[in-house]
Amino acid sequence: MSQHTNQSPYPQGGPHPADSYQDGQYGRPPQAPQPHHGRPARNGLGTAALILGVIGALSGVIPLLFWLAGILGLIALILGLSGRGRAKRGEATNKGVALTGAILGLVALILSVVGAVITFTAVDSALKEVDKALSGQEATTPGAKPDAKGDGKGDSKGDGAGKAGAKALAGGATAEYADKLKVTVGAPTAYTPSEYAIGHTKGNKAYKVKVTIENTGGEKFDSALSQVDARSGAEGTAAEQIYDGETTGADFTGSILPGKKATAVYAFDAPAAAKNLTVEVTPGFLDFKSSHWELKL
């Protein structure tokens, strides 16, 4: 009687085909590792603080960008402190980055304050210079004021110089500016305008006024920038300028060389009852303040 023995077709000690199949030897893909179930780090605040802090600090180096440095610095400081708090609670891993961003934010704030002070100081200084340039020089009156007749006897007390802009001068008086420019307005003289005169009203009186500008400085002066106006009567009504031919009513033209002078004859129309004529002369609308002469009619 034959004995049947069940022997495995696979060698002893060798791997079973099923095991090899399960291990992926025969093409079955291995299973992917299971995802980590831990909470991810929240590093956004620290990173944002660092970026804003760097930009803010660089902006603070330029004084005109103080406003930008202040805004970015404040935001960076807040985000940096918030990010550092997250790192302490274990919610973030960039504690150093957050701290650096907060420090840079503080630096940006300091630079913004410094830049604001520098900017405002510079602007204030510039405005003062512009105001000084626009206000121009104020004239002084050396010696005594001549009277209305222009004979130099004057009616002022003392022999010292005074500010021409503080009080109206008399006819024949001279206003002197710091640039060695002298302006003299003579006493008015009545005259009869021609039939071709422009600016004269029938029934009014016309007066001629001689204005002389003398340049005693070292540079030429552009007299074309000079302006002469007048008011008449107690009410200070504007006196119309009369243009009568080539010699009466013509404004200053050209330049006055050092050591030279120029004279222009102006004519003004005033009411018949007017007792005085106030003449205002401005040698230059940017560099000089106006001076006034009170002329008796």
The 10s digit of each residue's pLDDT in 22-77 is: 444 444 555 544 444 467 889 999 999 999 999 999 999 999 999 999 999 999 99
| Cα torsion 108, 111, 117, 123: sign | negative
Give me the average pLDDT of each 10-residue run along the chain (297 residues): 49 51 49 54 92 95 94 96 92 93 96 96 89 68 47 42 67 89 93 90 92 93 91 89 85 92 94 92 82 92
The token duo for 167 is 């009080």
Please spell the DSSP secondary structure of 26-94, one letter per residue: TSPPPPPPPPP-SPPP--HHHHHHHHHHHHHHHHHTSGGGHHHHHHHHHHHHHHHHHHHHHHHTTS-S-
**Cα–Cα distance for residue pair 271/94, rounded to 1 Å:** 89
Per-residue confidence (pLDDT) for residue 236, from 0 to 100? 87
The residue written with tokens 């710091």 in the block is: 178
The token duo for 281 is 């002369």
**Cα–Cα distance for residue pair 201/62, rounded to 1 Å:** 63
**Cα–Cα distance for residue pair 286/231, rounded to 1 Å:** 22
Q: Which CATH class is domain 140-296?
A: mainly beta
Per-residue confidence (pLDDT) for residue 131, from 0 to 100? 76
Residue 137: Cβ within 10 Å count: 16
**Cα–Cα distance for residue pair 182/223, rounded to 1 Å:** 12
| Cα torsion 122, 128, 134, 136: sign | negative
**C-beta of residue 82 within 8 angstroms of C-beta of residue 88:** no
What's the whole-model pTM score? 0.52
